[in-house]
């Protein structure tokens, strides 16, 4: 995992009637692991994993000074074993054999790990169980791994040095112990969560959500669409939009080729300044806000001016605009009220509110052509159908006089 998980209070109590196991503090116990740092060791590990039904996996990586995440460690645990694979000493591409197999991969907060593994190994698991995602269906609000293990298993993990540089070698014993702890209890956590999800009849919901996470598009940003993420990009008009598109696309490609963060090539402030002023030569470029000499060396000035010229002459049909609705002004109070209603429903259902629906889900649902997670499946049955009636003006939200919101038939009598 890239960043340390922030310390947080113990997660909210799970659903009523579903009690955790004995939470008396257990001793941490001794976790043993094997360090794999050569090809024969990796081959032996894959042979041992060839017939497992499930395995836990995690990564340590950095991306602060690179465009692509730099994998520094892969941790794998299975019934009866745990290994730390050193990608700085051995090519981890053969792990594609494990990832592409039929065994279930168990991860915690899997999104970035899946991205890193696919980049490093060219493969991703066929099926996953994300313990953080699944915890949301038990009423826990995005819990850290440490707090979830403490709450459900009764173990307090050693925190270790969360800000360690995982690319330095040799790895200290404390680093190895910390990394091993990230996977040592995931399989047990999966069993406990599965048991509770089945009792509540929510296991299918959790499976669907894990499948959505697994199928998420993690491909590299399309350079011509990178300008959508610029702050205040919606304020750009006409040629400024086209210039922003071409300059940001150039910045994205240069960052990829150099494997550096895009901000090292050109800041967002510089891109917006260029889009609004459209400098025509190097002198004007050097006087643009947010640009200094380091941005213009190594042929960058000439390439940047060429990108600006492409923006000036770009045909309107070549302008890549965000999906419909992203620039439209929605009724913010209506979205806020609907979001509050969904937050209340999440509390009634003892679900993590972010699992039920985010504000972005509400915005997507309230477009002229509704999209997103609320349009189908269990979310539609629980809340989407009600929101659809609200959107059509067939129902109204009101206070019930006790501090809660209630969805009612509309009276069509304005006050």
- Provide the domain limits for residue 243: 223-318
Select from 215, 231, 254 the last residue of a domain: 215
Q: What is the reported pLDDT for 183?
A: 98
State the pLDDT at residue 145: 96
What confidence tens digit (pLDDT) does each residue in 155-196 have?
Answer: 988 766 667 899 999 999 999 999 999 999 999 999 999 999
The CATH number of the domain holding residue 290 is 1.10.150.80
Does some domain include residue 414? no
Total domain count, the chain: 3
CA distance 394 to 409: 7
pLDDT at site 61: 97
Residue 385 domain flag: yes
Q: Nearest Cα to 41, choosing from 77, 72, 84?
A: 84
Closest by Cα among 160, 56, 36 to 108: 56
Are 71 and 174 in a shared domain?
yes
Domain boundary among 259, 283, 318: 318
148 in the same domain as 43: yes
CB burial of residue 194 (10 Å; 0-12, 13-18, 19+): middle
**Neighbouring C-beta atoms of residue 16, cutoff 10 Å:** 8
Quick one: 313 and 177 in the same domain? no
Dig out the tokens for 267 from the structure. 């800041």
Going 59 to 65 to 66 to 67, the CA torsion angle's sign is positive
The CA dihedral of 12, 17, 18, 20, to the nearest 10 degrees, is 70
Q: Is the dihedral of CA 399, 404, 405, 406 positive or negative?
A: negative
128 and 267, same domain (yes or no) = no
In whole angstroms, give the CA distance from residue 37 to residue 166. 15
53 and 183 share one domain: yes
DSSP 316: G
- Chunked into runs of 10 residues, the chain (415 residues) has average pLDDT values of 44 46 49 96 98 98 96 97 98 98 98 97 97 97 94 86 87 94 97 98 97 94 96 92 98 97 96 96 95 91 97 95 62 89 96 95 90 95 95 92 91 82
How confident is the model at residue 24, as a pLDDT? 41
**Residues contacting residue 193 through CB under 8 Å, at least 6 positions apart:** 131, 134, 135, 138, 152, 206
According to DSSP, residue 169 is labeled S
Residue 158: the pLDDT is 75
Q: Which of 173, 194, 215 is the last residue of a domain?
A: 215
Q: Would you put residue 350 in left (φ > 0), alpha (ψ -120 to 50) or beta? A: left
Is there a domain that residue 10 lies in?
A: no
């Amino acid at each position: 995992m890239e960043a340390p998980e922030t310390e947080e209070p113990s997660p909210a109590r799970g659903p009523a009637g579903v009690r955790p196991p004995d939470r008396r503090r257990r001793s941490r116990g001794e976790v043993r692991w094997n360090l794999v740092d050569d090809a024969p060791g990796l081959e032996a590990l894959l042979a041992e994993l060839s017939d497992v039904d499930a395995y836990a996996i995690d990564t340590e990586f950095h991306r602060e000074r690179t465009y692509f995440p730099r994998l520094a460690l892969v941790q794998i645990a299975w019934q009866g074993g745990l290994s730390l694979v050193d990608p700085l000493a051995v090519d981890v591409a053969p792990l594609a054999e494990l990832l592409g197999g039929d065994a279930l991969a168990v991860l915690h907060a899997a999104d970035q790990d899946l991205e890193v593994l696919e980049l490093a190994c060219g493969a991703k698991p066929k099926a996953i169980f994300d313990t953080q995602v699944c915890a949301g269906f038990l009423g826990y609000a995005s819990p850290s791994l440490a707090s979830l293990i403490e709450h459900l298993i009764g173990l307090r993990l050693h925190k270790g040095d969360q800000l360690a540089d995982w690319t330095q070698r040799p790895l200290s014993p404390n680093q190895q112990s910390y990394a091993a702890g990230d996977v040592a209890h995931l399989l047990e956590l999966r069993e406990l969560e599965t048991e509770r999800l089945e009792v509540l009849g929510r296991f299918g919901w959790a499976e669907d959500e894990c499948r959505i996470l697994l199928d998420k598009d993690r491909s590299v940003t399309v350079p011509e669409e990178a300008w959508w993420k610029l702050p205040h990009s919606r304020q750009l008009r006409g040629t400024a939009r086209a210039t922003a598109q071409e300059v940001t696309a150039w910045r994205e490609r240069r960052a990829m080729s150099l494997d550096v963060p895009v901000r090292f090539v050109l800041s967002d402030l510089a891109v917006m300044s260029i889009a609004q002023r459209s400098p025509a030569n190097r002198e004007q470029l050097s006087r643009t806000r947010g640009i200094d000499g380091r941005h213009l060396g190594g042929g960058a000035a000439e390439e940047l001016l060429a990108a600006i010229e492409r923006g000036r002459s770009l045909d309107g049909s070549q302008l890549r605009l965000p999906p419909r609705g992203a620039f439209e002004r929605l009724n913010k109070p209506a979205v806020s009220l609907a979001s509050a209603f969904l937050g209340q429903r999440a509390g009634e259902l003892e679900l993590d509110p972010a699992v039920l629906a985010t504000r972005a889900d509400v915005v997507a649902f309230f477009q002229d052509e509704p999209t997103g997670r609320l349009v189908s499946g269990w979310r539609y049955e629980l809340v989407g159908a009600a929101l659809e009636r609200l959107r059509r003006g067939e129902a109204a939200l009101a206070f019930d006089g006790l501090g809660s919101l209630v969805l009612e038939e509309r009276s069509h009598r304005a006050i």
